[in-house]
Amino acid sequence: MLKFKEQTDLILGACMEVHNELKNGFLEPVYQEALEREFQLQGIPYEREKKLNIYYKGELLKKEYFADFYCFDNIIVELKAVSRLESEHKAQVINYLKAINKEIGLLINFGKSSLQWERISIFGLTI
C-alpha cells in the first residue's frame, strides 16, 4: 500500500474539482487560489506558501523557498500551469521534500486539457 494514499487521493480529488471547474488556460496563481478554497470546502488541512528552510552543513542559508501547499503535515503540493511538465519541475519537488525531510510530494499541472499529476517520493521515484 502506498504511504499517505488516502491523503494524496483527497488532495488529487480537490485538484480535479478545480480543474473541472476552471479547465486549463489560467495562470498558476488562479489555480492556487481556487485550490485553497477547495481545500477549505473539503476540510483538507494545509499551509499555503509553506516556507522551506535550506541548510548547508548544518547552517541555515539565507535563500528561502516556498512550496505552493503543504498538506496533512506530510505532503508537498506543487502546482504548475504549463504545456508540459519538465524534469526540473520534478526535481523542484524532490528538493523541497529533502529540505523538510518528508517523503511524498504531488506535482500537479493545470495547463493541459486533462489534469496531469505525479506522485513523487523523496527518492525521486514516481510511485
Q: Which domains does the chain have, with CATH numbers?
A: 5-121 (3.90.320.10)
Assess whether pLDDT exceeds 60 at residue 93: yes
Q: What are phi and psi of 91, to 5 degrees?
A: -60, -35
The whole-number pLDDT of residue 43 equals: 98
Question: Cα–Cα distance between 91 and 124 in angstroms, integer?
Answer: 8
The whole-number pLDDT of residue 104 equals: 96
The whole-number pLDDT of residue 88 equals: 97
The whole-number pLDDT of residue 127 equals: 43
For the chain, the average pLDDT equals 94
**Residue type, position 93, single letter:** V
Across the range 17-27, mean pLDDT stands at 97
Assess whether pLDDT exceeds 80 at residue 126: no
pTM metric for this prediction: 0.92
The 10s digit of each residue's pLDDT in 65-85 is 999 999 999 999 999 999 999
Assess whether pLDDT exceeds 90 at residue 51: yes
Please report the DSSP string for 53-106 in residue order.
EEEETTEEEEEEEEEEEEETTTEEEEEE--SS--HHHHHHHHHHHHHHT--EEE
Question: Cα–Cα distance between 101 and 88 in angstroms, integer?
Answer: 19
